[in-house]
Amino acid sequence: LICKAPMLDVDKMIGTLLQARTNQPDGEYIRLPQQDITLLCRTARDIFLAQPTLLELVSPINICGDVHGQYADLLRIFEFGGFPPSSNYLFLGDYVDRGRLGIETICLLLCYKVKYPNNFFLLRGNHECAS
């Protein structure tokens, strides 16, 4: 019996997550299968581990911080600054904890990290720790 590993369809996930642009701010939750989220996290983890801990980035780059699960605000950042890969991004952490749509927020950020690993960077904030 040969077991085929599931493949991550990052473009489909991004498309699903961006459908929220037509919804009201902080609208309904976006339904993503748990298996897809798990695979996204594992894929992003592999990319983080493969990249150096000291990032040497070139301009132009948009620097953003403290999204705190405010998914509508994250979408606005991309609408004003340009969606990847047309713009490069460095996010400084604190992706979740206050807004209702923390899962959607971190999933979109991880999707862009997976799709554009050399143009999209995520640092760990104090809300992204093991404790």
127 is catalytic: yes
Q: Looking at this protein, which amino acid is placed at residue 27? A: G
Taking CA 126 as the corner, what is the angle to CA 118 and CA 43, rounded to the nearest 5 degrees? 35
Which distant-in-sequence residues (6+ apart) come within 8 Å of 9 by Cβ? Answer: 36
One of 84, 127, 128, 130 is an active-site residue; which one? 127
CB 13 within 8 A of CB 107: yes
Q: Looking at this protein, which amino acid is placed at residue 1? A: L
User: What is the rounded distance in angstroms from the CA atom of residue 122 to the CA atom of residue 113?
Assistant: 8
User: What is the rounded distance in angstroms from the CA atom of residue 64 to the CA atom of residue 97?
Assistant: 16
User: What is the rounded distance in angstroms from the CA atom of residue 83 to the CA atom of residue 76?
Assistant: 10
Catalytic residues: 127
